[in-house]
Amino acid sequence: MQHNTARGPYKGGLRYHPKVDMDEVKALSFWMTMKNAIVDVPFGGGKGGIAVDPKKLSAAELERLTREFARKLAPVIGPEIDVPAPDVNTNGTIMGWIRDEYEKEVGKDSPAVITGKSLKDGGSEGRTEATGQGGRYALDAFMRLRERSPRGMTVAIQGFGNVGSYLARYLQESGFTIVALSDSKGGIYVPNGITDLGAIEQCKEKSGKVAGCYCVGSVCDISNMEQMGGKDISPEDVLTLPVDVVVPAALENAITEKNAGDIKASIVLEMANGPTTREADEILREKDVMVIPDVLANAGGVAVSYFEWYQNMHNEKWTKADVFSKLKEKMDSASEEVDEASKKYKVSLRDAAYIVALERLAKA
């Protein structure tokens, strides 16, 4: 679905999921238009996908499907037309297949046709960590704007995949204390703070779940739970813990009118797409909870996708330090402009983010 090119080529992810349909990609392509405008990168919004369960396909079947998809897309994508990227159940390998097949169709080298590629296929340093790092920069920016220090502030993160795991690590670097983590199978809550995130990642990789990953030294086991003063919790419980910051980084509609009233955090950092329903938004607003909206908070990925496209177009190769420095500039600037619009129009940060985006689209 190609939504808008007022500010540049269409840009958005390709997802492989059994429930992908036109209504979903229409909504997501609109979101991409807004997100790209908010972080001020010269792209419009697009989205696409295939209604398929890739877990039921062999590697060879997945590659054949992807290459056929690329051949069908070839007439309507291109570095200056539509630049797809990975999304749900797609990755750098799949992006590499699409680049390769597109180049066969058009008969020339074209690395900028797609982003989210592996480094060997022309990807950018820092792309894997970009969404989590961008979320950290956004939260850090609002802490500065509110003249608050992260020292001693507690964080609970629902979702410990790529985004949640990197975000946890970076928030810890900023001075926040991570006290709860969960995946779809459950989670852990350690009020005194979770220190060794690397050990938990290894434990999850080994056991297939976060629950039970109480790590003391190099030993991660449920038997350490009592010693650490922790307990296993459900993914839903993570959102209503007595913490300063809660991060929905898993699925959409995680915060609804049913649980919004039970949220005790003063800040919600939306790292998933659409994690808060409209009804829940109103409840949180009445409770004076600061919601840093998804279209800003998780825009680090699209910003670094733009950096990848730029490097490909100009035959440049930036270091990870360069990428993160430029990402911080983008996230700081976007956060400041959204905060300014919120104060100027006396609206929530979410409404302010859309105002910033629409003003930029109107100018374009």
In a domain, 330, yes or no: no
pLDDT band at residue 362 under the 50/70/90 scheme: very high
CATH number at residue 192: 3.40.50.720
Mean pLDDT value of segment 344-351:
97
Q: Report the range of poorest mean pLDDT among 78-82, 226-230, 262-266, 354-358.
A: 226-230
Residue of 47, 204, 328, 330 marked catalytic = 47
**Final residue before a domain boundary, out of 99, 123, 147:** 123
CATH number at residue 62: 3.40.50.10860
Domain shared by 277 and 210, yes or no? yes
Highest mean pLDDT among 133-142, 188-197, 246-255: 133-142
At 205 the pLDDT is 87
Domain shared by 28 and 110, yes or no? yes
Domain shared by 134 and 275, yes or no? yes
Domain shared by 99 and 163, yes or no? no
Range of the domain at 193: 130-297
Domain shared by 8 and 96, yes or no? yes
Domain shared by 108 and 138, yes or no? no
Domain shared by 100 and 181, yes or no? no
In a domain, 357, yes or no: no
Query: 251 pLDDT exceeds 90?
Result: no
**Final residue before a domain boundary, out of 123, 153, 171:** 123
pLDDT per residue over 49-92, tens digit each? 999 999 999 999 999 999 999 999 999 999 999 999 998 899 99
**Final residue before a domain boundary, out of 123, 149, 171:** 123
Query: 261 pLDDT exceeds 80?
Result: yes
pTM of the predicted protein model: 0.93
Domain shared by 94 and 167, yes or no? no
In a domain, 344, yes or no: no
In a domain, 27, yes or no: yes
pLDDT per residue over 273-303, tens digit each? 899 999 999 999 999 999 999 999 999 999 9
In a domain, 322, yes or no: no
Domain shared by 138 and 116, yes or no? no
At 80 the pLDDT is 97
* Number of domains comprising the chain: 2
Domain shared by 157 and 62, yes or no? no
At 208 the pLDDT is 87
Average pLDDT, the chain: 94
In a domain, 174, yes or no: yes
CA distance 243 to 264: 7
In a domain, 331, yes or no: no
Query: 48 pLDDT exceeds 80?
Result: yes
pLDDT per residue over 306-334, tens digit each? 999 999 999 999 999 999 999 999 999 99
Q: Is residue 231 annotated as part of the catalytic site, yes or no?
A: no
Domain shared by 71 and 180, yes or no? no
pLDDT band at residue 115 under the 50/70/90 scheme: very high
Domain shared by 149 and 262, yes or no? yes
pLDDT per residue over 202-240, tens digit each? 889 888 899 888 887 777 777 777 777 889 999 999 999
In a domain, 343, yes or no: no
